Structure 1
């Protein structure tokens, strides 16, 4: 009888003990929003189809060397949907050499020196008396980051905002936070005439 009771206790203990290594496997699970890729910020953008418009804009603005450099940088990356504020012909016009300077200014407003992970941004906001943190971009402009309904939000002086929809995409020279809008909210660029649309000068020199 005593042997039977001991065997029953041992069997019960075996059922309650978790499989060996289970705790380590659970603790090793990365946060859903955190990934690390062995590549530069520019390479990550170029390899991801949701950033095809941004990749084209980076090339047209000659910012590729910046995002391939040592950094580190924090890139707030607008998706193709963010670029949809432009009609297709307007976007093509924006990518023309004549608009390179304005395009570079706009994109530089999305790049901040240093690697700022979401945890650091949230911590700085929580420690701030004003409930926000101001980041100086590579352009010299300011991005204001706040928490709204549990989401990190970038704000502009004119009231325009962009929400970070994916956080902490790590590269070997910085980090990417995916945003849902361009900042500042752009006005439509001028449509550049093509060679076929250019007026023909019919005047004959005297």
Structure 2
């Protein structure tokens, strides 16, 4: 009995380590209540991005190179969604697929996140990572599909990067479920 409980606990713990779950809240439906996830905009705002490591710069500060410094989140793209008014469009309807660049990717971008560029990160429909097998039409353009190095690319951005082997590489969330869609992290801004 104890071995079974321990095996279940290990299975649950290992499953949770690789599963990204959107925030949930309860809502009343008639006499019963059902769990409801947040929409894609609110889910993205709360989503934790890939790990940032100290690297060689941390050694002089007393850290190991592979010590975690923090997380690269999606606050800048979330702000651009709100500032351009696109977030309001995504609050209802759907499903949508959002290809969300991390804060570092937005910092590396040499331009302004206009409404057209923000909409170029949104597909009307739900695409899982494994479901991306061809070019993707967005709200303001078309992204070219590519498959290289066992990775999925849209234009030059890697979608849902997963660290392989024993490395301490970064893992970018993919297939993050929300009420009205799904979110995949990417490592570059998708220009129009």
Q: Do both proteins adopt the same fold according to a TM-score greater than 0.5, normalized to the shorter chain?
A: yes
> Paired residue for 1:162?
157
Residue by residue over 1:4-61, the C-alpha shift from the partner in whole angstroms, topping out at 9 and shown as x without a partner, is xxxxxxxxxxxxx993367766389368254343211111222347111112211111
Ranges in structure 1 where 5+ consecutive residues have no aligned partner: 1-16, 96-102, 126-132, 156-160, 187-206
Instruction: Identify the structure with the greater strand proportion.
Output: 2
Larger radius of gyration: 1
Decide whether aligned partners of structure 1 residues 146 and 42 sit closer, same or farther in structure 2, where only a CA change above 3 A counts.
same
Partners of 1:114 and 1:183 lie apart in 2 by 18
Aligned-partner SS, 1:69 = coil
Decide whether aligned partners of structure 1 residues 163 and 33 sit closer, same or farther in structure 2, where only a CA change above 3 A counts.
farther
* Cα root mean square deviation, aligned: 2.7
Partners of 2:84 and 2:5 lie apart in 1 by 50
Find the partner of 2:127 among 116, 122, 125: 116
Q: TM-score, normalised by structure 1?
A: 0.59
Partners of 2:182 and 2:6 lie apart in 1 by 31
> Paired residue for 2:185?
178
What is the aligned residue count? Answer: 141
Decide whether aligned partners of structure 1 residues 18 and 143 sit closer, same or farther in structure 2, where only a CA change above 3 A counts.
farther
Ranges in structure 2 where 5+ consecutive residues have no aligned partner: 24-36, 49-72, 162-172
Q: Judge conservation of contact 1:82–1:182 (CA < 8 Å) in 2.
A: yes
Q: TM-score, normalised by structure 2?
A: 0.63
> Paired residue for 1:44?
43
> Paired residue for 1:148?
148
Higher relative contact order (CA 8 A, sep 6+): 1
Decide whether aligned partners of structure 1 residues 22 and 47 sit closer, same or farther in structure 2, where only a CA change above 3 A counts.
closer
Please show how residues 62-77 of structure 1 align to structure 2 within 5 Å. Answer: 62-77=85-100
> Paired residue for 1:105?
116
Q: Judge conservation of contact 1:108–1:137 (CA < 8 Å) in 2.
A: yes
